[in-house]
Structures are given as C-alpha cells and as structure tokens.
Amino acid sequence: MNKGKVYLVGAGPGDPRLITVRGMQCIQECTAIVYDRLASPRLLRYAPDHVKRVYVGKLPDRHTMKQEDINQLLVDLALEGHTVTRLKGGDPTIFGRVGEEAGLLRQHNIPFEIIPGITSAISVPAYAGIPVTHRDHASSLSIITGHESPDKLDVSIYWDKVTNATGTLLFLMGVAKIDYIASQLMKHGRSSDTPVALVRWGTTPEQETIVGTLGTIAEQVVTAGFKSPAIIIVGDVVKQREQLQWYEQMPLFGMRILVTRARSQASEFASLIEDLGGEPCEFPVIQVKKSSQPEQVKAIEQHLLQAERYDWLVFTSENGVNYFFDWLKQYKVDIRRFSGAKIAAVGPKTSDALNERGLIVDHQATRYDAEGLVETLEQFATEGQEMLLPRGDLARSVLPVQLRAKGIIADEITVYETTVAVQQEPIVFDWLREKHIHVITFTSSSTVKNLIKVLEQGGIEDPIALLKQYPLASIGPITSNTIRECGLEVTIEAEEATIESLTAALIQYRGTLAQQ
C-alpha cells in the first residue's frame, strides 16, 4: 500500500483571507482535510468536492476529539494513501502541538511538511489597531503561553527575567489567569499603570477588545464576563489603538452573514461583504445546472434552430444568459442568426453578462423583476412579434402570460434547472443552532424554500422556528413574499433587486443596530 503525505498547515487566526499561498495550495490539492473550530470553514470551499472532510473541533470546555486521537487519525489517513491537509488555527509551531502530530508521523515513516501560518500573536493585535512593535514604544516582543495553571506557569516562565525582557509581552490563552499574570508582572517590576489589552476572537465578527492597565485589567475582565480565546497584550504599544483601530470601525464589522446563493454565484456577494468588514458564511442551498429533461432539451433545439424568426431575445437572469450560450455551442447555432432580434434584459447583472459576450442590450427594465420587464417591453414590442425567453425551470409565469395577453408570441425554453444543493459544511448547522450567524440573506424564492429543505435534511427538526430567531434579508418584494408565505418575517429588504442594493441594506441595518 502506498503511503500518503501530511501537510500540517497554519490556517491563520480566523479571517480566511489570511491563509498563506502555500497553505491554500495544500487545501486545493489534498484528498483529505482535517480541521478544527479555529480554522475558518470558509477555507473548505477551496477543497475539491470529492475531498474527505473530518471535523476535530475543540472548545475550551469540550473536546470533540482528543489530541492523541487526532495524531492517530493523521497516521491512519496517510496509511490509506490520502494526501492530508491538517488545518490548524494560527501558526502550527506556536503552541499548536505540531510537534506531537509530526512526531507520530515520523515514527510511522510518513512524509510530512510543516506549513507556517500567520500567528494570532501578531495578527489579532493588528486587527485591534495595536502594532506589537513601535519605534517609540517597543523594539522587541515576547510570546508566552498563559494556558497553564499558576504553579506550572511559575515553572515554565521566569517572571523575573520575562517581565522586563522585551517592550511588548504577548500572552496566548491566558484569560482565566489574567489576575495571576498581572500580579506577577507588577511584582517583578512592571508599573501598575502599564497599558494592557485583551482581544477576544480576533479577526472574526466576534472580535471584542478590552483596554486597561495591569492594575485594573483583572477586575475589568470579570466585570465584562470576558472569556477565552483571547490574546493579552502588555506594553505601551496598546496606546496606539486609540488612533489605529480600523477593523472594528468597518461598515459590516460584527456581522457573520449567511449567503444562500448557488456556489457558482456566491463569490461576488461574499467579496462585497468581506470588503466591508463582515464575514460571509457561504451555505449554498441551490444548485444550478444545464437542463436535462428530454422534452426540455428537444424544445431548446427546435427553437434555437428557428433563430431567424425571432424579433426579440428576452433574458431574465444572468444564469439564463450563460446557459443560453452553452446551448448555442452544443447545437452549433451562430448567434448571428438572431441578427434581426432586439435584446431585452431584466437588470444590470443580466445586461453585463450579455455585454461580456459582445452583445449590447437594447432595453433594460427600470424595475428589476418580471413585472418591470413587462412594463418596459410594452413600450417597444408590438402585437404579433415573436420573443424567445431562455429561462430556468422555476421562473414565474408572469412574464410570458402577460406578454401573450398583449398579442405577443412568447416562446419559453428552459435552459437550466435549479435543484437543492446537497453539500454543506456541518459546522454551519452548529453555528445556526448556536446563533453564531447574525443575518440570513435570500436572493431568490428558491433560496428560501431550499434552505428550509436543507435544514430539515441536516437534522433541524423545526427549521421555521430556528429561522424565526434570525433577521432575514431579502433581495426584493418577490423573495419577501415567499419568506412571508413560509410563516417568517422580513427584517431587511433591498430597494432594488441587486446584490449591491442588498449589501447597502445590510449596511443600513448594521448602522441602526450600532445606534441602539
């Protein structure tokens, strides 16, 4: 049996964009991926669909899998011939127990690589506006574990040497010992006025920062109910936060937003959310694919081969454009055969998709839905003209019915199908149960209905009751109606049926919350 190989990869502190290029390569090329709670589940979307996924998440008070079992799991997967990527939060060599995992791999003669990551010791303070060194305040730093019991801390830490050895002291995992740590530092020479900051869940929407001094910080932590995981920063560099904090001031900071769009379409929305300081959680509940029903395929062929007869090509979605051209290619129909047809589109994204293919839209709806498209076409189309409507199988009947009522021949072809997505990350179900999601977004009626189905399939007994606990954001009135028909309430609705408008509505909602 051929042995596999194991890559021990630092996943960074939480923000998935902080993964290294080499780390990303390991995710993309593995056949098995082992991850825990400190590694962003968004990184998993870069792994191929066939990859075996194993969650070994750990919490301070609950261990899903013991470290010894994780070590053995890596060995077992490699012996099965897998190329394994072990995602570890932060950097694997800084209190990441990588030595234990690598040591067992070495005992079994399994090849491995250690891929450094961006450590939380540096990145988390940076996201809180605290540089760990500063020309005027600190030219050196120490990274110290704060996880041990006080007696063990005294054995592993030489307080008389560490206290004043460097300008900045960084304690990882020391929240529960903050009183003892502060006392020891003051006992060995640090002033009680020394600035201290604790940053919890840094680089994520839950990031929270407390600033005090060695003399006050322990009481502040207790009063605030401040819990791990957090980084403790001791030193004058903490003063820089007043003018350098940036992440917590971004428009969507503090919001983890569930994106239910198809995986192929989610990246644009996710990027907008990220750029504004939010964290998109991609949870695709719809899957779009080329039509496969024989009667649909036959109809597509028949209508495309009569291209010259059409006075209009009418597109109601970006998907409709993309799959229409796929069918043209399959049947070797030259787009120039539609030279006598004018082109209409439901909205700017659909128009952009056509423009990218060298086609200029003659008329775009002023309101981005079927009703708005009917209103636009009424101004320019005449009775007896023939229109071809490339659409999806779940498209509403409003457009063709109203066009036919006005004497227009409207031929529909179903160029794509929408089905329930079958692959979601298990951790997202936990996040929904534990209310780690802050807003759920819907970009179509099918995302509403399919999310309910996916939640049921994922073991949620009462999806409606679960969804009632969340603010729900809708891309427009049609989607909002579907949300209400399912017994739910709409909290946020975009002014226009576009991703940009939905994003703007999320920003407005976030601003309202901040003022409360």
Q: Is 36 a catalytic residue?
A: yes
Largest separation between any pair of C-alpha atoms in the chain: 92
Q: What is the distance between the alpha carbons of residues 233 and 235, in angstroms, rounded to a whole number?
A: 7
CA-CA distances (angstroms) from residue 97 to 67, 71, 92, 298? 9, 10, 7, 60
Q: Residue 373 in contact with residue 316, Cβ under 8 Å?
A: yes
The pairing of beta strand 286-290 with beta strand 409-420: antiparallel
CB contact at 8 A, 416 and 292: no
Residue given tokens 């750029």 in the structure block: 275
Q: Quick one: which of 78, 58, 60 has its CA closest to 8?
A: 78
Give the CB-side neighbour count of residue 98, counting CA atoms within 13 A: 24
Distance CA(89)–CA(15), nearest Å, equals 10
**Are β-strands 168-172 and 141-145 bridged in parallel, bridged antiparallel, or unpaired?**
parallel
The string of DSSP codes covering 118-169 is: --HHHHHHHHTT--S-BTTTBS-EEEEE--S-HHHHHHH--HHHHTTTSSEE
**Token pair of 189 as six digits:** 């020479």
Q: Per the structure block, which two tokens stand in for 173?
A: 């995992």
Q: Given the residues 15, 36, 91, 369, select the one marked as catalytic.
A: 36
Is 173 catalytic? The answer is yes
- Residues 470, 440: Cα–Cα separation, whole Å: 7
Strand-strand pairing, 52-55 and 62-63 = unpaired
Residue by residue, what is the 3-state secondary structure of 300-315? HHHHHCCHHHCCEEEE
- Reduce the DSSP state of residue 204 to 3 states and report it: coil
One of 15, 88, 91, 173 is an active-site residue; which one? 173
Q: Cβ atoms within 10 A of the Cβ of 62, count? A: 8
Radius of gyration of the chain (CA): 28
The answer to whether residue 393 is catalytic is no
Return d(Cα 259, Cα 266) in angstroms, integer: 7
Q: Which of 5, 52, 58, 239 is catalytic?
A: 58
Q: What is the DSSP letter of 471?
A: -
3-state secondary structure of 487: coil
Residues marked active site are found at 36, 58, 173
